[in-house]
Amino acid sequence: MGISYIPHTDADRRAMMAAIGISSIDELFADIPEEVRLRRPLRLPPALSEPELVAHLEELAAANPASGMVCFLGGGVYDHFIPSVVPYLAGRGEFATAYTPYQPEVSQGTLRAIFEFQTMIAELTGLDVANASMYDGATALTEAALMAVNVARRERVVVLGTVHPEYRQVLATYAEGQRLPVTTVAVDGRLGTTDMADLERALEGEDVACVLVQQPNFYGCLEPVHEIAARVKARGALLVVSTDPISLGLLEAPGRYGADIVVGDGQALGLPMAFGGPHFGFFACRAEHVRRMPGRIVGQTVDREGRTGYVLTLQTREQHIRRDRATSNICTNHSLMALAGTVYLAALGPRGLRRVAELCLQKAHYLAERIAGLPGFDLVFEAPFFKEFVIRCDRPGFDPAAVAREAGYLVGPDLGRWEAGRRGQLLVAVTEQRTRRELDGLVAAWGVAR
Amino acid sequence: MGISYIPHTDADRRAMMAAIGISSIDELFADIPEEVRLRRPLRLPPALSEPELVAHLEELAAANPASGMVCFLGGGVYDHFIPSVVPYLAGRGEFATAYTPYQPEVSQGTLRAIFEFQTMIAELTGLDVANASMYDGATALTEAALMAVNVARRERVVVLGTVHPEYRQVLATYAEGQRLPVTTVAVDGRLGTTDMADLERALEGEDVACVLVQQPNFYGCLEPVHEIAARVKARGALLVVSTDPISLGLLEAPGRYGADIVVGDGQALGLPMAFGGPHFGFFACRAEHVRRMPGRIVGQTVDREGRTGYVLTLQTREQHIRRDRATSNICTNHSLMALAGTVYLAALGPRGLRRVAELCLQKAHYLAERIAGLPGFDLVFEAPFFKEFVIRCDRPGFDPAAVAREAGYLVGPDLGRWEAGRRGQLLVAVTEQRTRRELDGLVAAWGVAR
Amino acid sequence: MTDTANRSTSGPGGLHTGGSGGHAALPAAAEPGPEPLIFEYSRPGRGGAWLPEPDVPVRPVEDLVPRELLRREPPALPEVAEVDLVRHYTRLSQMNHAVDTGFYPLGSCTMKYNPKVNERVAELPGFSRLHPYVPDELAQGALRLMYDLERALCEIGGMARATLQPAAGAHGELTGILLIRAYHESRGEGHRHKVIVPDSAHGTNPATAAMAGYKVVEVASDERGGVDLAELERVLDEDVAALMLTNPNTLGLFDENIHRIAEMVHEAGGLLYYDGANANAILGISRPGDMGFDVVHFNLHKTFSTPHGGGGPGSGPVGVTEKLVPFLPAPLVERDPETGRYYLDENRPQAIGRMRSFYGNFAILVRAYAYIRALGPEGLRQVSEDAVLNANYVMRQLAEYFRLPYDRVCKHEFVLSASNLRERTGVRALDVAKRLLDFGIHPPTIYFPLIVEEALMIEPTETESKETLDRFVAVMKRIAEEAEREPDLVKEAPHTTPVRRLDEALAARRPVLRWRPEGAA
Amino acid sequence: MTDTANRSTSGPGGLHTGGSGGHAALPAAAEPGPEPLIFEYSRPGRGGAWLPEPDVPVRPVEDLVPRELLRREPPALPEVAEVDLVRHYTRLSQMNHAVDTGFYPLGSCTMKYNPKVNERVAELPGFSRLHPYVPDELAQGALRLMYDLERALCEIGGMARATLQPAAGAHGELTGILLIRAYHESRGEGHRHKVIVPDSAHGTNPATAAMAGYKVVEVASDERGGVDLAELERVLDEDVAALMLTNPNTLGLFDENIHRIAEMVHEAGGLLYYDGANANAILGISRPGDMGFDVVHFNLHKTFSTPHGGGGPGSGPVGVTEKLVPFLPAPLVERDPETGRYYLDENRPQAIGRMRSFYGNFAILVRAYAYIRALGPEGLRQVSEDAVLNANYVMRQLAEYFRLPYDRVCKHEFVLSASNLRERTGVRALDVAKRLLDFGIHPPTIYFPLIVEEALMIEPTETESKETLDRFVAVMKRIAEEAEREPDLVKEAPHTTPVRRLDEALAARRPVLRWRPEGAA
Ligand SMILES: Cc1ncc(COP(=O)(O)O)c(C=O)c1O
Ligand SMILES: Cc1ncc(COP(=O)(O)O)c(C=O)c1O
């Protein structure tokens, strides 16, 4: 039998070769010099039929028992509930198998959805405009820094030490390419938020383009954003805020406290954790900076009969027009994930989003309090938090993550992964999905186990 | 919060009541006499939000460990492979959430698919026409008997003892309603096929409307259908054949050996086992009998601009026109399942279907031979078989089904479920999905276990 | 009798998509023609390539199967590439109107929104990969679901027990009537051979009674749309086995005499059968059992939100009062009170037999169960209240433009008549229906019930918003105006659908019921 | 700068579906207007009702979060019923052209069929419910898949190791260029500050080089469409860090001098970067590593069949030769040869850093892995052979009607020019593209590469049948004829799409980038 994805029969191939006027397919590859040809079959496992393929992948999937455990893991990806309409609608073939909407007349579905997405992100963040998506939260934050450097015509980037370490690593990688100096602000070890004195020091000089803030921060704590904003503004730098979109159901829109650019990762908005991707990054800014914004933007216009329609617009910012002077090299973004996020937000509405945020908040605080009451356990930081917090345990020889795992619960990550001095400190994230039974179960596992 | 499936806000309700001119919703129920009103809330568990609902159903689903075991169960439902395109396409909302295509101008999708289905069933069975589907194989066979009684203007129905016992039970239930005499033909206990002498006896008299045959029969054995057909025809009765559609990739089309009506269950054609339903029944007959056929039929026609289109046709057979003189009371059939079957057959094509049938045949025979070689094990019947066969084991105190289950394999059902005399005899079905490792694994479990 | 389907030829300029449209060349605007049949994509040797090689020793087929039993000619199934398969059925789907694409006020069919979460849970492998003959111990989740669903349906219907076997409404009816027959026979009253149905009844009611071997006796409706009590009195005698009724009836009207009707039938020794197609009006408000019905079927594919699938699958569970329980088909799901284990009880000596293979349309039961659990008692009552509110809201407004044959509060649906239009303009109910298609709205059920001429039977359901209803009213009003001003616009409708009005007479006169390759006989 | 989006008003007769179309009243034919935005379905208090009540003691929010951090005004997200949500996005989806609905020969984008089995396996809960920070021991299946995919991509590209982190092609490019920079720096050659790109290159190539801090130097193409060797010689000096190339290039032509080019660049101390966007031509036929490339990225969303999603997600793994391996970003998946366990190795002291959070677009990797396993070595080679066959088959036939600027055997795609039409009839490549829409065909990429005027860049892919290609050729021929006979028909196209040609200039001049409620500022 042939290969399912390829329609040609040998008869088809013969007819086509005859039409071209060749007698062997090799003639079509005559332009490939001998010395660069592969003269052997690829060393790959043999083809699998569909049933074999499904069985093989099911076996691999089954070899990830973590996927069946109760998830208190945090650090940028969260086990939120995914309403059934989200994958159902975003999975429709007409959305999934379309390209970037270069031909607007036959892409109004995608274009309208992106326009809706831009509107929702602008609403959530309290800014004027949003783009059609970025790869993820980390690259969105990094591109925000690069944009701020452009807007401010200054070079130095200040990043709070409470920003997700992986986001800071990505920033460092990109900054290294452009030789941008990056200053990291120290953490107040008691509060778990920014050391304001150190921020003040970092802002000295008139060379700071922007300050990158994460709210809620990597430790789950709430930064004093009004105070931070005041200091950043006083120095003429741009304020860039990276945020958990779920938190915006409850927390002030960053645009309202002075953020110039707001970014974040959209995984929490109806996307599976999927071992880290694909998710999407969102990116919003003030109207006056839109022509420096990276990424695709959809705008409204009219067709020749005066009907409303939507197109990709302001493309002169982009690589396919501006080439080496583009605002970014981004081309393909994460449109389908952004569509899922759009459906999620439309499914929840403002009240639903607030409810999710409140459930996270209440459940996280219930659990934190109960854990703090366990002998030997302790909350590491004192600042208020949203849905995530850091714990430590000083019972000798007791490994809380391992004990939890035995009982079917996943907690973490261990902050030692990034900060040696915090080895043994664990992030605990609580989403609206976690039931009281699970919360109490985790506490019980730590209460009784030895 | 409100109820997700209901859009009305209280403001909407008030506006609508005002428009109607009522001040309380109760006014709309004033026509329901007090004595038949329910004066208390329904005694049902309280509403679950979507996350709770999903968690609850996932818990119930997880409480069916059989679903994760290797399935050699037979008896009318089989663990065949479902190509990924089948649920993907049949699950599209435009197919799933449409009603019966009463308005053909906006139902051409469903109508065209049914027309394709009718064609494929006609091709498979070797008959002229097929209907749009029945509930399942058992009711299809029963309706075939009722139709044959009508066509033949005779009353007695003869059914072979090798027809699926549940199908015979359904036949009995319906026949009881219409007071039709049913004669069951004995089984040749050595071969596992029909006792031809008893068939001859059953056919005596000129009152037999039809003979119901299952090929491959309930024991998996192949009936001598040519010989049966000859005898049935000789008596002027109609030949009704119930068949496994997968087998028709390899076995002669019943229309070719004289069947007047061919029916069967379509589960094997790309439908999940789903604890027994929904599947679909298929129903094909000769052109000259079409006006006695039960169920919906789609026909081709033209629109007012001469374009080809499809409509429900020959409706004067049906209950909504003919009422108590209809060919059947069937209204809603199993259209969506038939669509899945259509996609399945189109995905496989003639060579694919043959391949599935051959794989079943070869693997079943490999396994049968290996089981027969096990000490104490034995094949019960001698007739040739297709993908299913009956085994027994005379090792004292040894329960083969239980031992297999321990090792993760499901075999059966035990024929004792229907025939006390065959308690301990087990059906074993082998589909193309069963790998040699699984076949050998089952044999090993029986070889070593005690 | 069957005939060759026209197959459009397509030269290189004749352009494939226009296939079945029979266009020789594209029109200037090149609007793509209707999608052809899958067979037209078929090429010998293409597709069908997803199967593994055998991993067991292969023996010649002829050694395993007697040669005369082997197929001589392969079936002419299509041979298509996967991409063409996907495109074909995707395009076909786009030719359908569906609840997922627009308003669907098809009376008697309860085309409410089908929650997507129900699809998600029904597809869980723990349900979908379950063979019906697995041991009970390994399917406790499925059995418990069935047990709890049965209890919920009994509570809603006011019944004692129920069978989940029936695959659709009509199948439930047959089950119910056979139960009634078994009941009478058990009491030595096998002579009862008549079933009464109102003249407003759905066709499945008389068809079912006939199929169960009964003689059908029609009873007329009175001027308020209910059963005419005098008429009923007249036809009730000792030969009557049952009266089949739906309440609210097919006019969408609640029969206020239901209590009296039940008394009369019971006094005559008959039983009352409840056709649950219209149960969407009464959830938590009134129970058939309390009305006096002895047997009830529900259409899970109507009232309980399971998708209709373009004609099924449905599910038609049947509930009965205590005295009929012994006759319910085997198996029922029972719960061992000691161990809490659920099991299939096949041991039902008085059962009428079996109505189908296995236990019912299980995956549909899962959806209905999920629906009931999502709504809870208050939610279910809200469903009926809003369904009735929506119907009255639309009825009140449309009564200005169409004739309202029974002017009283309706329940979840109502019936208008286009006879006023017809008399004045010649525009018929059918024309109104077809014109609605141009506005992206599915028409009401038409010409049913039979007792209303030019009937338009409208069931908005509770899942439609006020805005959707307002738009429907506006469009209906507009069509009524068009009928006066520009009747041909309506009579020639639809204008914007993938095909226009189809010649149904031709289809029946010269039936073409399957595709055949070009040139075939 | 932004402005209020027009919102159509809809009185009761103004009919909802026409919303954004701004129709005051429906036209006689009542063709439904374009679907409005989700916001237009919103009503205060509707929807959003799927959340449980808290099951823990609830404390006042203000006790937990400082009051000044709390949101003062809720975001104006839409409030819609679930049925309207489903209808809205279902209808939107139907306004898209997609691979699932028709032919999509969009050059450089490799719009091949996206197998549905890939979706099925990517959605398995064992993959989709996996948090990225789970312990390695509990995610062995995922790690093994990544490990094996990396090996397969390395084998296909002729590379030593690869990172799966990059989220798209451009992201892979940036990763690759940063790797090259790290390599040079490690050798004390940090002064190299130029990257050479051909004038035919995709915009992401120069944009990437600039983003990585490099100066971009363009090199011209020769008359056969390849890199002009003399030009290359001229620009190569000790400041050159890399040459970025795609081969076959954006003209669909294989650069026969690739070996010489590699030698020249390497001699100058530079490295060669392979933009894998066009890898669909070379699977199992020629490997970038064997051509002399040092760094390669693949677009899994092109060559390896993962769906493009209307603009992503993609995945752009980057492979490198041995000497660049130390610089690959952390983590890589490694396998402990003793235990056979897989683990994430974060300990990569020379790594360039991290390119994104976590490990890559894992669910896309699953799909690409499934694709490679489904095809195997022969299948992958067949993919490229048939992709090239299809392109040449179409090219040969279209060369009669359009100008073929480089008349040689092409690879998986080719570039035509509509300059012949334009000169004679004024019909431009854009017009041809728009006219194709009327026939249900997605247009080729137009006006790229920049070195061909009126460019039409056509990539049929291997998943299209001969019949589909024949139809495309027929339609293109017909459009060429229309251009001569009836140019306005083409210039005014499309005629049959949900909206007609859109005013892009207006969109840019007066940007309306978000919806606002009627009457808002
Ligand atoms: C009043 C009534 N009774 C019975 C039925 C039959 O139900 P089903 O189609 O599920 O067999 C219907 C279906 O339309 C109906 O409306
Ligand atoms: C030749 C070429 N290079 C690079 C890219 C960029 O890839 P991506 O869109 O995945 O970032 C593209 C995509 O269109 C391309 O065609």
pLDDT digits (tens, 9 = 90+) for A89-99: 999 999 999 99
Distance D202 CA to ligand 2 centre (A): 7
Query: Exposed, middle or buried by CB within 10 Å (0-12, 13-18, 19+), for C488?
Result: exposed
Q: Is A35 on the interface with D (CB under 8 A)?
A: yes
The residue to mutate among C299, C302, C361, having the most atoms of ligand 1 within 8 angstroms of its beta carbon, is C299
- Calpha distance D303→D383 (Å, rounded): 9
> Which atom of ligand 2 lies nearest, measured to the CA of D108?
16
Contact B133, B281 (CB under 8 A): yes
pLDDT of residue C4: 34
Q: Is A51 on the interface with B (CB under 8 A)?
A: yes
What are the phi and psi torsion angles at D484 (to 5°)?
Answer: -75, -50
Nearest CB to C361: which of B6, B278, B297? B278
Kindly list the protein residues whose Cβ atom lies closer than 6 A to any atom of ligand 1: B 331-332; C 108-109, 168-170, 202, 204, 246, 250, 275, 277, 299, 314, 316
- Mutation pick from A10, A34, A36, A79 vs chain D, by most beta carbons of D within 10 Å, is A36
Please determine, for residue B90, whether its predicted confidence score (pLDDT) is greater than 50.
Answer: yes
> Which atom of ligand 2 lies nearest, measured to the CA of D250?
1
Distance D477 CA to ligand 2 centre (A): 29
Provide the shortest C-alpha distance from residue A3 to chain C (in Å): 6
Contact D240, D191 (CB under 8 A): no
Q: At what angle do helices A165-178 and D204-211 cross, to 10 degrees?
A: 100
- Calpha distance B415→D303 (Å, rounded): 53
Please determine, for residue A188, whether its predicted confidence score (pLDDT) is greater than 70.
Answer: yes
What value of ipTM does the predicted structure carry? 0.96
Please determine, for residue C190, whether its predicted confidence score (pLDDT) is greater than 90.
Answer: yes
CA-nearest residue to C102 within chain D is D87
Q: Which residue has the tokens 């004045």?
A: C424
Which chain C positions have a beta carbon within 8 Å of D111's beta carbon?
none
Contact C278, C412 (CB under 8 A): yes
The arithmetic mean of pLDDT across residues D124-153, rounded, is 98
- Calpha distance C414→C395 (Å, rounded): 7
Which chain A positions have a beta carbon within 8 Å of D442's beta carbon?
99, 103, 106
Percent of chain A's residues with pLDDT above 90: 95
The arithmetic mean of pLDDT across residues A167-183, rounded, is 96
Q: Which residues pair with A243 in a beta bridge?
A: A215
Q: Neighbouring chains of D at 3+ CB pairs within 8 Å?
A: A, B, C
- Calpha distance A146→A168 (Å, rounded): 13
The arithmetic mean of pLDDT across residues C206-210, rounded, is 96
Q: Is D46 on the interface with B (CB under 8 A)?
A: yes
- Calpha distance C54→C38 (Å, rounded): 29
A325 pLDDT band (50/70/90 cuts)?
confident
The arithmetic mean of pLDDT across residues A215-235, rounded, is 98
Q: Which residues pair with A377 in a beta bridge?
A: A393
Which chain B positions have a beta carbon within 8 Å of C242's beta carbon?
none
What own/partner pairs with CB < 8 Å and gap ≥ 24 does C420-424 have? C421/C454, C421/C480, C421/C483, C422/C454, C424/C483, C424/C484
The arithmetic mean of pLDDT across residues B292-314, rounded, is 96
Distance D190 CA to ligand 1 centre (A): 80
- Calpha distance D128→B154 (Å, rounded): 60
Which tens digit of pLDDT belongs to each residue from A53-70? 999 999 999 999 999 999
Q: Is D48 on the interface with B (CB under 8 A)?
A: yes
Q: Do A433 and B51 touch (CB under 8 A)?
A: yes
**Among B284, B250, B286, B287, which residue's Cα sits nearest to residue B266?**
B284
Please determine, for residue B427, whether its predicted confidence score (pLDDT) is greater than 70.
Answer: yes
Which tens digit of pLDDT belongs to each residue from B110-166? 999 999 999 999 999 999 999 999 999 999 999 999 999 999 999 999 999 999 999
Please determine, for residue A52, whether its predicted confidence score (pLDDT) is greater than 50.
Answer: yes
Which tens digit of pLDDT belongs to each residue from C85-100? 999 999 999 999 999 9
Please determine, for residue D2, whether its predicted confidence score (pLDDT) is greater than 50.
Answer: no
End-to-end CA distance of chain C: 12
> Which atom of ligand 2 lies nearest, measured to the CA of D302?
10
Q: Which of residues 333-352 of B touch A (CB under 8 A)?
A: 351-352
The arithmetic mean of pLDDT across residues B386-406, rounded, is 97
Please determine, for residue A441, whether its predicted confidence score (pLDDT) is greater than 90.
Answer: yes
- Calpha distance B185→A224 (Å, rounded): 87
Distance B364 CA to ligand 1 centre (A): 43
Mean pLDDT, chain B, integer = 96
Cβ neighbors of B14 (< 8 A, separation 6 or more) are none
The residue to mutate among D204, D250, D412, having the most atoms of ligand 2 within 8 angstroms of its beta carbon, is D204
Q: Is D181 on the interface with A (CB under 8 A)?
A: yes
Distance D277 CA to ligand 2 centre (A): 6
D19 pLDDT band (50/70/90 cuts)?
very low
Which chain A positions have a beta carbon within 8 Å of B352's beta carbon?
1
- Calpha distance D273→D172 (Å, rounded): 11
A320 pLDDT band (50/70/90 cuts)?
confident
Q: Is A6 on the interface with C (CB under 8 A)?
A: yes
> Which atom of ligand 1 lies nearest, measured to the CA of C316?
10
Q: Is C358 on the interface with B (CB under 8 A)?
A: yes
pLDDT of residue C10: 30
> Which atom of ligand 2 lies nearest, measured to the CA of D278?
1
- Name the closest-CA residue to atom 12, ligand 2: D277
- Mutation pick from D38, D82, D87 vs chain C, by most beta carbons of C within 10 Å, is D87
Distance A407 CA to ligand 1 centre (A): 51
The 3-state DSSP class for residue C39 equals helix
Which tens digit of pLDDT belongs to each residue from C222-242? 999 999 999 999 999 999 999
Ordered alpha helix ranges (H), D212-344: 229-235, 258-267, 288-291
The residue to mutate among C111, C173, C175, C202, having the most atoms of ligand 1 within 8 angstroms of its beta carbon, is C202
Q: Which of residues 288-347 of A touch D (CB under 8 A)?
A: 288, 290, 296-311, 313-316, 318-326, 328-337, 339, 342-343, 345-347
Which chain B positions have a beta carbon within 8 Å of D32's beta carbon?
none
Which tens digit of pLDDT belongs to each residue from D199-233? 999 999 999 999 999 999 999 999 999 999 999 99
Q: Is B97 on the interface with A (CB under 8 A)?
A: no
- Mutation pick from B34, B106, B313, B436 vs chain C, by most beta carbons of C within 10 Å, is B106
Which tens digit of pLDDT belongs to each residue from B358-386? 999 999 999 999 999 999 999 999 999 99
Kindly list the protein residues whose Cβ atom lies closer than 6 A to any atom of ligand 2: A 331-332; D 108-109, 168-170, 202, 204, 246, 250, 275, 277, 299, 314, 316
- Calpha distance B318→D401 (Å, rounded): 57
Instruction: From residue A73, give the alpha-carbon distance in Å to each of A70, A391, A414, B436.
Output: 9, 13, 10, 41
Which tens digit of pLDDT belongs to each residue from D73-115? 999 999 999 999 999 999 999 999 999 999 999 999 999 999 9
